[in-house]
A = this chain, B = another copy of it.
């Protein structure tokens, strides 16, 4: 069932039927009713391709998801973010098209998306400090919004981010309050904007308290489970090992647990660890100290909001870019002691 068939059935022109369906004012109320009824009855769905060819808008948003080159893995938070974004798109009548790439900088991917005309806008994931994609997209004039930020990019653009710096500042402060003086930082790759900011928060918290920053206690690598395991194992062997760890998400927590276990220590007793995990409400009665930089549901909400920002930008091309900063939750569990593992 296409427009032609439907209008023939109604004894109207395609024009009128199209207008009736798209809410144009010049069509009479009676006609609109008839058309709507018929469309419903025959469950008419306008062909997206034809529509977008005619209008020039594709009613689709592209997400370019970077895949870790070495480890070929997808960051699990994308799932939740995408779910939120998908909701917003569905509500606004947009489709979501996904493109997974090894090297997210592949200029071609973005240029092609634009040239092939199958998206009206793009969500940029996992930005680096000076991410070239932003200038690129501005250059080719494709609307976009960034999940995160690229701190070294001076021009304004749409972004939505979690306040990574303050989250890590507070978390470090919390460990310092417990009396810890040697705190291991397990961070992601610090070319990534979020990791850079997290480190800044950690460093600033230490400096504020006059604690020396020890490079031996700071690691920055791709967030694999094995990295977490190895890093903790190695730090444990230092002459003066950390008494606490601050673990950047999403480094899988299980590697940390195991390393601590291997060292013959008990988490939350011999050693303090602040990490991230989802749905840990009952942890509040446990002995861990979880840091929620972003819960699953808040990531979802972020997806929703960023999608809305982008859709808004597409609808109002002239509008000034919007930004949104989420303050990360820091939820603290009951520790086995007030001063766990601190010397």
Contacts and interface: CB of A to CB of B under 8 A. Distances in A.
Nearest to A254: B277
A316 interface: no
Nearest to A114: B45
Contacts of A261: 286
A73 B112 CA distance: 32
A310 to B, nearest CB: 16
Given A98-B86, A100-B87, A74 B79 contact: yes
Contacts of A46: 116
A164 to B, nearest CB: 22
Contacts of A115: 1, 43-45
B224 A279 contact: yes
Contact of A116 (B47, B96, B281): B47
A34 interface: no
Given A45-B115, A97-B97, A117-B48, A229 B282 contact: yes
Interface in A294-339: 296-297, 300
A258 interface: yes
Contacts of A280: 225, 254
Interface in A60-88: 60, 65, 67, 72-76, 78-80, 82-83, 86-87
Contacts of A30: none
A337 B301 CA distance: 46
Interface size class on chain A is 35 or more
Interface stretch (A16-24, A50-58, A235-243): A50-58
A79, A254, A277, A283 pick with most chain B CB within 10 angstroms: A79
Contact of A53 (B50, B65, B279, B286): B50
A98 B82 contact: yes
A4 interface: no
A226 interface: yes
A234 interface: no
Nearest to A63: B98
A86 B109 CA distance: 14
Nearest to A286: B258
Contact of A67 (B83, B96, B116, B278): B83
A84 to B, nearest CB: 9
